[in-house]
A and B are shown apart, each in its own frame.
Chain A
Amino acid sequence: MTEGRDIVDQAIGWHLRHAEMSSAEWHDFVAWLEADAAHATAYDRVALDDALLADLPRPAPAPFVPARPRRLAWAVGGTAMAAGLAALVMPLALTPGSVAYTVRTAPGESRTVTLADGTRIEMNGGTTLRLDRNDPRVASLDAGEAVFAVRHDGGKAFVLHSGALALQDVGTVFDVSRNGTRLDVAVAEGAVSFQPGREAILIKAGTALVAREDIHQVALTPVPVDAVGGWRSGRLTFNATPLGDVAEAIRRTDGADIRFDPDLSARPFTGMVRLTGDAAKDVPHIAALVGAGWRRDGERWIISPEGKAGN
C-alpha cells in the first residue's frame, strides 16, 4: 500500500487506518516504523498534529450529523450553546426509547434531584443538567456544578457526560463543575473513571482532576475530602482556578453578577473562600483576598486592580 508515495503520505495512510487495523497490520506498522528513522519522525509529526486536533473547537450544529430524531429532545429547552456543546455526546448518551429532559437552576438557586435508581444529584446555582427518564444511569452536565451521590450498580455504571468528556462512577460521591472548556472533578468517596472509553484515568477519593478540553490537558491534585462539594455550605475551594472561573463559581452560589477586570481574570487562584450568600459582604472579602479593589455598577460587582481607573 505504500510504494510510490512519499514518507509523509505513508505515515498519514497508516494513521488513518489505526482504528480498523488487525493485529497483523499493527505488526506491519511496527516494522514500517522501525525500517527507517525518517518513517518514525514523519509519523511522529502526523501523530502530534492529530493529538492537537482533539483541541479544535467542536463544530456548532453540523449539517452532516446523522439524522437522529431523538437528538431534538435533548435540544429542546436547552440554550443554543448547551446544545452545541452536547451535540457530539448525544449519540453516545442516547439509547432507544430515551426520554430526555433538562433540569436547570438559576444563579443563587440550588436544587436536589433524585433519580429512579436512588442516585442523588445536588445542583448548585446556574447549572444545566440533562437527564433521561427511562435511563437513570446517564446524565449530562452542560453548565454549572453538581454533587453526585451515585447508587452503585455493578451491572450498569453511571456515566456523566460533559462536552466531549465523560466520567464513569465506581460507587461514589463526587462534585463536577463545568466552566467553558474546563471541567473540574473532585471525589469525596469511592472513585470515578475519567474518559472511561479510551484512556481511563481513575480519580480516587481525595483527588481532584482538572481537564482542559481546549488544550487536551489533564492534571490531578489532592483535595481534602471534606472540601468536596463545599459550596453546599458556602465554602468554595479553588486550585489554580482562573479568577474568571472563581467569579462564575461565586455567581452560582450567591446569584450575584461578579466580574473580574480582564487584567485579573486569567490569574490563577488557589485557596478557600467562605461565602455568606450576601454579595455585599462577599465581594469586598474576595477583593481583599486577591489584593484588588472593587466597585459596584448597578447589579454588577467589578473587581479590578487597586488604582486602576474605573472603566
Chain B
Amino acid sequence: MGSPTESGLKAVFLAERPMLARLLAARLGGPDDAEDALQDMWLKLDQFVDRPVADPAAYLFRMAANLAADRRLSAARRGARDTGWMEAQSEADDIPDIERTLIARERLRQVEAALDALPERTRTAFRMFRLEGRPQREIAGTLGISVSGVEKLLQRAYRQIHDSGGGEGVGMAGR
C-alpha cells in the first residue's frame, strides 16, 4: 500500500482532525467516543488503496458521519436490549441477535407504513435517493422536476418517517 493517494488522504485527515473530532463528539456524545472513532478512521485509512477521492476533506467528513451513524445504531440496539428486551447474553455481540432483529423490524414496519402512505411521486423520489443511491440531480432529470423540487419531496418523506416513530424513537434510546 502506501500510494500517494493514501498518504494524501492521511494528510488531509491530520489537517481536519480537530473538526472531525468535534463532529464525532457532537454525534457520539463526548470526546472519548470521538477519539475512539478517530482511531477507527485512521486504521481504515490504512486499508485504502487505489481510490482517488475528488474532495478528500468532504470524503472524510462523510466517512466520520457514517461511522457515527453506525455506532449510534449499534449503541441504540444495545441499549434497547439492555432495557429488557432479553436477559443478558454473554456472547451477544458475536451472535446475530434475534431481539435486535425484532426491534429493527418493528421500526421498519412503521417506516414502511409511513412510506406507503406517501404520495407516489414522493415515494419514488425517496426510493431513488435512499435505496438506489442516486444523486438528486439525476432524480430531478428522471422525474422532470427541479433539484429543489426533489429536495422538497425528500424532505417531506424523511419528515413522515421521522414522525411515524412517535415521541421516543422506538427502542432507539440509549444515547
Mark A residues whose CB is within 8 Å of B: 8-9, 12-13, 15-16, 18-23, 26-27, 29-30, 33-34, 40-41, 43-53, 55-56, 58-59, 62-66, 88, 157, 193, 198-200, 202, 210, 212, 214-217, 219, 221, 240, 266, 268
Contacts and interface: CB of A to CB of B under 8 A. Distances in A.
Contacts of A200: 44, 47-48
Contacts of A34: 22, 26
B87 interface: no
Closest 7 CB pairs of A and B: A23-B57, A33-B26, A26-B61, A12-B158, A51-B73, A47-B69, A51-B69
Given A27-B19, A56-B111, A219-B95, A64 B72 contact: no
A45 B162 contact: yes
Interface of B: 16, 19, 22-23, 26-27, 44, 47-48, 50, 55, 57-58, 61-63, 65-70, 72-73, 76, 93-96, 98, 100-101, 104-105, 107-108, 111-112, 115, 124, 127-133, 135-136, 138, 142-143, 151, 154-155, 158-159, 161-162, 165, 169, 172, 175
Contacts of B65: 18, 47
Nearest to A268: B95
Given A48-B72, A199-B44, A55 B151 contact: no
Interface of B, helix, strand, loop or mixed by DSSP: helix
Given A8-B159, A13-B151, 10 more contacts: A16-B151, A16-B154, A26-B23, A26-B61, A44-B175, A50-B158, A53-B111, A53-B130, A64-B143, A212-B96
Contacts of A29: 23, 61
Contacts of B130: 50, 53, 56
Contacts of A157: 50
A41 B28 CA distance: 10
Contact of A48 (B22, B58, B158, B169): B169
Nearest to A212: B96
B131 A56 contact: yes
Contact of A30 (B19, B72, B132): B19
B160 to A, nearest CB: 10
Contacts, number: 157
Nearest to A33: B26
Contacts of B136: 16, 20
Contacts of B162: 8, 12, 45-46, 49
Contacts of B26: 30, 33-34, 40
A41 to B, nearest CB: 8
A199 B151 contact: no
Which of B48, B95, B129 has the largest number of chain A CB atoms within 10 A?
B95
B68 A240 contact: no
A219 B95 CA distance: 7
B98 A19 contact: no
16 contacts: A13-B151, A16-B129, A16-B151, A23-B16, A41-B175, A43-B27, A45-B169, A49-B161, A49-B162, A51-B69, A58-B131, A199-B66, A199-B67, A200-B44, A216-B104, A240-B95
A13 B133 CA distance: 17
Nearest to B97: A217
B170 to A, nearest CB: 10
Contacts of A221: 94
B57 A193 contact: no
B45 to A, nearest CB: 10
B135 A240 contact: no
A51 B47 contact: no
B96 A240 contact: yes
B111 A215 contact: no
A105 B47 CA distance: 35
B10 to A, nearest CB: 15
B126 to A, nearest CB: 9
Contacts of B115: 56
A33 B104 contact: no
A293 B95 CA distance: 26
Nearest to B105: A215
Given A23-B57, A30-B23, A199-B70, A210 B96 contact: yes
